[in-house]
Amino acid sequence: MHTIAAVMKRELKAYFSTPVAYVLLFVFLFFASFLTFRGRYFEVRQADLRIFFDMLPMLFIFLAPAIGMRLWSEERKTGTIELLFSMPVTVKQAVIGKYLAAWIFIGVALLLTFPLVITTNYLGNPDNFVIFTGYLGAFLLSGCYLVISIFCSSITSSQVISFIVSVMVCSIFVFADYPSMLNVLQTFLPAAMVEAVENMSFVVHFESIRRGVLEFRDISFYLLFITGWIAATCLMINERREA
């Protein structure tokens, strides 16, 4: 744990030592606030953050890849990956440490939207437990986007390629439950496989959590998804080190 914490601190320091982190935070907070208040926030005459949580899956498609694209691509491009592994750190520890640093960064971005909660409580009497579960679901949801981005970062030394591939893969998991996609899949896949694809959608599992329903299947989906992609990232880095 000490080694993972050291890697995590190293990455967090790297994030906040450049203006890029502050630009990403500003862009995310701007669009989160703008889209929330523009999206009939006052017209619905109901004190909640439903509109905010509705548009988070789309914002994360771009935010998470922007945060994760540099984690391994930059190490490989600058050659510091050899320096990293010359230290007493394993691939698994490095991957988890980097991932946790990026996930904490997204957590900070979500925490900075807290004025929306204050505004909602000022304007009405919302169910704060539902708001809390919405933020919990959003944090777990962001972790899935981010772990895909880190995996894509591990397969290329180009941050641009990593970003583009991450956006594409994340989009697949976001739109997996859309009727148009399911209709296409039904033409050549059996019903059981189409249902399995639908259940892989990030949004399907996010919907119930943000409504205040904490179910084991939804939380376990996110945790298993993150664990699986972290394992895949470890395998990819090990393979490229030996190549």
Whole-angstrom Cα distance, residue 157 to residue 236?
A: 13
Q: Between 15 and 41, whose confidence is greater?
A: 15
Question: pLDDT at position 241, please?
Answer: 64
Whole-angstrom Cα distance, residue 26 to residue 20?
A: 10
**133 in a domain, yes or no?**
yes
Question: Angle, nearest 10°, between helix axes 179-186 and 191-199?
Answer: 150
Q: Which domain holds residue 71?
A: 2-170+227-242
- The residue written with tokens 């971005």 in the block is 109
* Vertex 194: Cα angle to 189 and 195 (nearest 5): 150
Does 191 have pLDDT greater than 90?
Answer: no
Q: What does the pLDDT average to over 115-120?
A: 87
Does 101 have pLDDT greater than 80?
Answer: yes
**31 in a domain, yes or no?**
yes
Residue 138 — pLDDT band, cuts 50, 70, 90?
A: very high
Helices (H), the chain: 2-16, 19-38, 50-68, 70-78, 80-85, 91-111, 114-123, 128-154, 159-174, 179-186, 191-199, 202-210, 216-242
**193 in a domain, yes or no?**
no
How much is the pTM?
0.88
**191 in a domain, yes or no?**
no
Token code pair at residue 214: 């904490």
Question: pLDDT at position 38, please?
Answer: 76
Question: pLDDT at position 47, please?
Answer: 65
Question: pLDDT at position 99, please?
Answer: 93
Burial class (CB in 10 A: 0-12, 13-18, 19+), 219: middle
**213 in a domain, yes or no?**
no
**179 in a domain, yes or no?**
no
Query: What are the DSSP calls for 6-56, one per residue?
Result: HHHHHHHHHHHTSHHHHHHHHHHHHHHHHHHHHTTTTTT---S-HHHHHHH
Token code pair at residue 141: 């949801």
Residue 33 — pLDDT band, cuts 50, 70, 90?
A: confident
Q: Between 197 and 89, whose confidence is greater?
A: 89
Percent of the chain's residues with pLDDT above 70: 90
Whole-angstrom Cα distance, residue 134 to residue 54?
A: 10
Percent of the chain's residues with pLDDT above 90: 31
Amino acid at 109: A
**215 in a domain, yes or no?**
no
Does 142 have pLDDT greater than 90?
Answer: yes
**207 in a domain, yes or no?**
no
Q: How many domains does the chain have?
A: 1
CB 218 within 8 A of CB 133: no
Does 239 have pLDDT greater than 60?
Answer: yes
Torsion of CA 134, 140, 145, 150, to 10 degrees: 150
Out of 59-73, 103-117, 164-178, 182-196, which region has the weakest mean confidence (pLDDT)?
A: 182-196
Q: Between 216 and 180, whose confidence is greater?
A: 216
CB neighbourhood size of 132 (10 A): 12
Q: What is the mean pLDDT of the chain?
A: 84
Question: pLDDT at position 39, please?
Answer: 58
Among the listed residues 204, 22, 230, 226, the one whose alpha carbon sits nearest the alpha carbon of residue 109: 22
Question: pLDDT at position 41, please?
Answer: 62
Question: pLDDT at position 6, please?
Answer: 86
Does 242 have pLDDT greater than 60?
Answer: no
Question: pLDDT at position 44, please?
Answer: 60
Residue 139 — pLDDT band, cuts 50, 70, 90?
A: very high
